[in-house]
Amino acid sequence: MKRVVVLGGGVGGTLAANLIARKLKREIAAGQAKVTVVDATGSHAYQPGYMYIAMGNEKAEKLVRPEKSLLDGNVELVIDTVTRIDAPGNSVTLGSGATMAFDQLVIALGSRILPGDLPNFEGEAHHFYTPEAAKRLRKALDAFQGGKIVVAIAGIPYKCPPAPLEVAFLVESELRERGLRDKTEITFLSPINRAFTIESVSDMATPIFEEKGIRLELLAGVSEIDPERKVVITDAFEEHPYDLLICVPPHKGAQVVIDSGLAPKSGWVPTDRATLQVKTIAKPAPGTADEDIPRYPNVYALGDTTDLPLSKAGSTAHFEAPVVAERVAAAIKGRAPEGKEANYTGKVMCFFEVGDGKGTLLQFDYNHPPKPPKPSALWHIGKIMFNKTYWRTVPRGRV
């Protein structure tokens, strides 16, 4: 019997497992194949909703469901942590001590936020990357009566690249509605030389900062937080005082992929941009040509796990999963991957809130940068609808 093991029950792992099970329905029924998801919690969280908790229009309990309820009936769920991945040896070790052999492995372990990696972050900075943190930010915003707000980013890459810009825009709108805008100075610290990593999106967003009177500081990644003086110190040694600090925490990939030698210390797994196969060398010697690095033929990564130069977002995992599923199913069936899902083209699609009930859409791939439409109510409503219908659509492969 051929065994497919999927590590992680987030968007990528859940959707990939369901699509694989669908493609292998006959083989599973005949006892020739088995698909197993290993997830540390057994709960599936809709993380894009966390920002809306902070903005006051979402409840944490609506953003989580049992993983089992989202999985195809033919997918086995094991609730356990993963402590070791032996890619060349075709096995994984679980927290319980059990080992699980695989014929095909999908690594979808996501990313971790590490607020503790930046001294004083936990005592001083608010964020919206967990339901608890988002609730605390909501309370802080409710108590805010004017002063200096700094929205900042402590390291790239991080989950949902538009999120800090969206938060800056949404907070600005809220404060205007509450009559506090005149008493508030908002500063956005971008760690790079423009407002957003993708140039066309940056060109769309920069005038919005101007319209909203939000000061945009470039090349201003967070290096230190001084809690005594209440200032953020940037990589370029500039200081920005704050009364309320909202900061994207440092991110890394899963510890187990670092410990297993599949990723450098950043934790992002080197992955083939088209096949999504994991590369066999985590940290190549300087000057090594990419095509000279062998790929594991039966180990795939998707979603936040990879080192691909794409958004760390559910949307990326959503569009990668069909490729992983096609390749895994083809290998089990003993045929070559086929059709438009044989290779990943870098497709990502996500909504971008700009405040005042308006949003836009970012849609792009490796060869086509996004051309965001003029912000309108349509795309804001689109995002809200997508958030509400997520449970019935994305994990089940219906969109």
Partner 1 sequence: MTAEPTSTPDITTTIDARGSFCPGPLMELIRGMKEAEVGEVLAVLSTDKGSKTDIPKWVGKAGHNLIGVLTRDGYDEIVVQKVR
185 vs 235, which CB is nearer to partner 1?
Answer: 235
Measured from the CB atom, the residue of 91 and 275 that comes closer to partner 1 is 275
Least separation in angstroms between CB 192 and partner 1: 4
Binding track over 144-173 against partner 1, x by CB under 8 A? -----------xx-----------------
Kind of pairing between the strands at 184-189 and 147-153: parallel
Report residue 253 as tokens. Answer: 């990939």
Question: Cα–Cα distance between 280 and 263 in angstroms, integer?
Answer: 10
Among 101, 116, 290, 388, binds partner 1 (CB under 8 A): 290
Piece in contact with partner 1 (CB under 8 A), picked from 69-77, 113-121, 284-292, 329-337: 284-292
Provide CB contacts within 8 A for 239, sequence distance 6+. 226, 231, 232, 233
Rounded to a whole number of angstroms, the minimum distance from the CB of residue 12 to partner 1 is 21
Give yes or no for a contact between 121 and 115, defined as CB atoms under 8 angstroms apart. Answer: yes
Does position 13 bind partner 1 by CB under 8 A? no
Nearer to partner 1 by Cβ, of 95 and 309: the residue is: 309
- Cα dihedral 13, 19, 22, 28, rounded to 10, equals -40
307: helix, strand or coil: coil
The amino acid present at 277, given as its one-letter code, is Q
The reply to whether 235 sits near partner 1 by the rule CB under 8 A is yes
125-126 sheet: strands from edge to edge: 125-126, 244-248, 147-153, 184-189, 215-217
- Tell me: does residue 286 bind partner 1 (CB under 8 A): yes
Euclidean distance between CA atoms 2 and 34, whole angstroms:
6
Q: Rule CB under 8 A: say whether 193 interacts with partner 1.
A: yes
Residues between 293 and 332 with contacts to partner 1, criterion CB under 8 A: 309
Give yes or no for residue 367 binding partner 1 (CB under 8 A): no
Nearer to partner 1, 106 or 201 (CB): 201
Q: Give the whole-angstrom CA distance, residue 260 versus residue 282.
A: 10
Task: Based on the shown chain and the rule CB under 8 A, indicate whether residue 202 belongs to the binding site for partner 1.
Answer: no
Instruction: Give the C-alpha separation, 380 to 358, whole Å.
Output: 5
Select the span of 88-96, 158-166, 187-195, 207-215 touching partner 1 (CB under 8 A): 187-195
The smaller minimum CB distance to partner 1, of residues 293 and 381, is found at: 293
**Footprint of partner 1 (CB under 8 A):** 155-156, 191-193, 197, 219, 221, 223, 235-238, 286-287, 290, 309
